[in-house]
Structure 1
Amino acid sequence: MPLTPLDIHNKEFGKRLRGYDEDEVNEFLDQIIKDFEMYIRENKELQNQVAALQERLDHFANIEETLSKTIIVAQEAADELRNNSKKEAQLIIKEAEKNADRIINESLSKSRKIALEIEELKKQASIYRTRFRTLVEAQLELLSGDQWDSLETREAERE
């Protein structure tokens, strides 16, 4: 058990012949008591400071742990958001490609249809031209034929 200032104060020494000067010993013990009490107070203050610093250290350790967990959660959220964004972008690209393919297919189909219509119109124009030429040739033949001359002579005879 550690020595206390009260133990020092109450300590009684036996008396002997040719012993130490009692007043000097008492003064020295008083000085020891004062110094011992001062060391005890300083020790208590230091223990209080250590406890306060330990409490602050624990507080900062908790803050550090919380921040670390928060950073991890934020990183995980950012990773998840990045992955979701990539997936969404891929879906948008696929949808755009489907729409582009559909538009291209529709355009090709319309182009083929228009090309067929143009060919049909060319055929009809050729047929019309041929029929018109045939009609004009028939009319020219009719005009240059003998029947026309006979009509002219009949009409001249009537007059």
Structure 2
Amino acid sequence: MALTPIDIHNKEFSTRFRGYDIDEVNEFLDQIIKEFELLIRENRRYEELVNDMQARIDYFSSMEDTLNKSIIVAQEAAEEVKTNAAKEASLILKQAEREALAREEEASRKEQLAEREVIQMLKKVELYRTRFRVLVDAQMELLNSTEWDTIVGEPPVQTVLDDKPELAYNDDEVIPTKHHG
């Protein structure tokens, strides 16, 4: 069972001959209660900080999964466009060759047409490649954004715990003092 400030406050000690000064014991218990309450508040604050950091990690992990899926889809689409462009170019060239056997003039005209279509397809492939590069660059910018630095740049929770200030008491007031460790 966890010890609470109320448990400390309500603790009764039996008195014996030549025992401790009751007022000193009560004053010390009051100091312990104040310290304990402060530690409980700090612990809650750190738990909230940990929960916030975990939510951020979950968010960016989800974003990473989405980006990975987007990149895979884009790669598959690029491969499909490339394959289709190659098949289409091959069909156009075969058609031009067959017609060249029948009519030399017609074949020459159709060959030029096929070359133009190949160039257009290559331009489409290059355009898709450029769009894909822009998509990847945008994703990289997102990965290199300062939001990542904010998460990575914050000190770990243990460092925050090690750097907590010491406390001094003045009557009922808690006064933080600089920690010298």
What's the TM-score, normalizing by structure 1? 0.64
- The CA deviation at 1:101 is 2.0
Q: Matched residues in 1 for 2:10 and 2:101: separation?
A: 106
Matched residue type, 1:8: I
Q: Does the 8 A contact of 2:99 with 2:106 survive in 1?
A: no
* Equivalent-residue separation in structure 1 for 2:106 and 2:60 (angstroms): 67
In the alignment, structure 1 residue 72 sits paired with structure 2 residue 69: no
Q: What is the letter of the counterpart of residue 27 of structure 2? A: E
Report the Cα offset of residue 77 of structure 1: 0.7
Alignment of 1:94-113 (within 5 A): 94-104=94-104
1:61 aligns with 2:61: yes
Q: Distance in 2 between matches of 1:45 and 1:106?
A: 82
What do you get for the CA RMSD once the two structures are aligned? 1.8
Deviation at 1:76, TM superposition (A): 0.5
Report which of the two has the higher share of helix.
1
Deviations 1:41-84 (A, max 9, x none): 11101001101110110111100001101110111111111100
Task: Specify which structure has the higher proportion of strand.
Answer: 2
How many corresponding residue pairs?
A: 107
Displacement of 1:106 in angstroms is 8.8
Deviation, structure 1 residue 102: 1.9
Partner of 1:18: 18
Offset, 1:103: 1.8
Q: Tell me the TM-score normalised to structure 2 length.
A: 0.56
What are the equivalent positions in structure 2 for 1:2-151 lying under 5 Å apart? Answer: 2-104=2-104
Q: Give the SS at the match of 1:14.
A: coil
The list of structure 1 runs, each at least 4 consecutive aligned residues, that deviate by more than 6 angstroms after superposition, is: none
- Partners of 2:44 and 2:93 lie apart in 1 by 72
**What letter is aligned with 1:101?**
L
Percent identity between the aligned chains? Answer: 59
Looking at CA atoms only, which structure, 1 or 2, has the larger radius of gyration?
1
